[in-house]
Chains A and B, each alone.
Chain A
């Protein structure tokens, strides 16, 4: 039951990335939190989701650019982290998430190439304004993306099972992996924030905000 719900959720968040409705349940923060809640541990879900969110900040989903799929990735990562000591599970969970996100990037390119082929094959019907062809292409495109998202989620859950039950992580390597990925994630998110801010007034706001953030973090 739980596994079915997690696969369904992974499919929905995979669809949300591009096909729709783009309400941002595809963001790893949301995808991971809900997956964690389904599995009975929302705190583990939000923690791995937030770590992957640091990486997802570098994605700007403009036009035909390539980007990783962090939704099913966060679902798989949450599967690794639930009901485990977070300090030791966070690194392996994030690693699974990053691998799945990268696989999602390739799968998205595959779907786009398939859409290209179908549109080229139906070019004359589209140019004639054939409503049936339009609707068919749209439904096939959505269906294909749903299959992609479900397959990606299943792949992720397979990798999660490997990372959780098969690979014998030592406490040291799991903790070091986690710390490295948090640090690289923080660096990645900072680079993304600098890109958003540019060189003008927004950059000064970013620096002021970061100073305040460090001060508050010291108290928290």
Chain B
């Protein structure tokens, strides 16, 4: 349990040299305590050094590697095997997490929040997002940790499950449809809070906003990730502020 909790701050000392390494080492401490008692201080230190070496993966799934390595250490597996396991798990866990969470469940959850906000304009949208997102987030962390602890060196089997493969295939489509529905709804809701202040219910401001949004989309499709929406918005906003100062 202490390991599972400390996995929530696994990126606390994120750095370019070891990436998640310090975090995985700290998370391994409670699991490796038995090693010190049964196989001595040297074995414990060697295991801890392995657990805190370079490691990069998705933070939600890194618990699988931490648990699997600790299991293998406690089972007395050779150091080379454990190092190979650590090396082999990083990329698949990173890729799986990126596709399932960052490119799947996170945008899907934001999509649900956009829909809720667009339909109601209510702060409930934030609650919907938090609950929906974290049901899967916490479930994923728990599943990954348990799979690593139960399967040890055979943890690769957990990544081959058909349900997981299906989820990775379906996640972008779910995110896409929810974002597709939610974006126009949320943008129109936001526009309704602005247009009356600018020009009553006239069509002009809506048309102008639509054109600016379309131009932004086209520009960013060409320039992303060199220039993102944030930088573009800052440039445009600066021009508006300067324009206001010059032509009040």
Partners in one complex: yes
Q: Are A213 and B183 in contact (CB under 8 A)?
A: yes
Chain A residues touching B, majority SS: helix
Looking at the assembled complex, report how far the CB atom of B129 sits from the nearest CB atom of chain A, in whole angstroms.
Answer: 6
Q: Which residue of A lies closest to B199 (CB)?
A: A175
Task: Give the residue of B14, B129, B237 whose beta carbon is less than 8 angstroms from that of A98.
Answer: B237
Residue of B nearest to A21 (CB): B8
Q: Does any Cβ of A come within 8 Å of B193's Cβ?
A: yes
Q: Which residue of B lies closest to A88 (CB)?
A: B197
- Shortest C-beta distance, B132 to chain A (Å), equals 10
A38 within 8 A of B: no
A64 to chain B, nearest CB (A): 6
Distance of A172 Cα from B173 Cα, bound (Å): 41
Interface size class of B (residues with CB under 8 A): 35 or more
CA distance A91 to B119 in the complex (A): 22
A154 within 8 A of B: no
Known A22-B59, A90-B190, A186-B213; contact A210-B180, beta-carbon cutoff 8 A: yes
Q: How many residues of A contact B (CB 8 A)?
A: 113
Chain B residues, CB < 8 A from A206: 176-177, 179-180
Map CB proximity to B onto A114-131 as digits: 1 under 8 Å, 0 otherwise. Answer: 011011100100111111
Distance in Å from the Cβ of A37 to the closest Cβ of chain B?
A: 7
Could you mark each residue 200-218 of chain A with 1 if its beta carbon is under 8 Å from any beta carbon of chain B, else 0?
A: 0111011111111110110
With contacts A30-B130, A47-B193, A171-B197 taken as known, whether A119 is within 8 angstroms of B119 at the C-beta atoms is: no
**CB pairs A–B below 8 angstroms (22 shown):** A19-B9, A20-B12, A20-B59, A21-B9, A47-B193, A119-B18, A134-B48, A169-B244, A173-B244, A177-B237, A183-B216, A185-B233, A188-B216, A188-B220, A188-B233, A189-B229, A191-B217, A197-B176, A208-B177, A216-B184, A217-B118, A220-B189
List 20 other contacts, CB 8 Å, given A186-B209, A191-B221, A205-B173.
Answer: A29-B117, A30-B129, A46-B122, A54-B229, A63-B56, A90-B193, A126-B21, A129-B52, A130-B45, A134-B48, A175-B197, A175-B198, A180-B240, A183-B216, A186-B216, A187-B214, A187-B215, A187-B219, A212-B181, A220-B188
Chain A interface (Cβ < 8 Å from any Cβ of B) = 18-25, 27, 29-30, 33-34, 36-37, 42-43, 45-47, 49-51, 53-55, 57-58, 60-64, 68, 85-88, 90-91, 95, 98-99, 101-102, 112, 115-116, 118-120, 123, 126-131, 134-135, 137-142, 145, 169-198, 201-203, 205-214, 216-217, 220
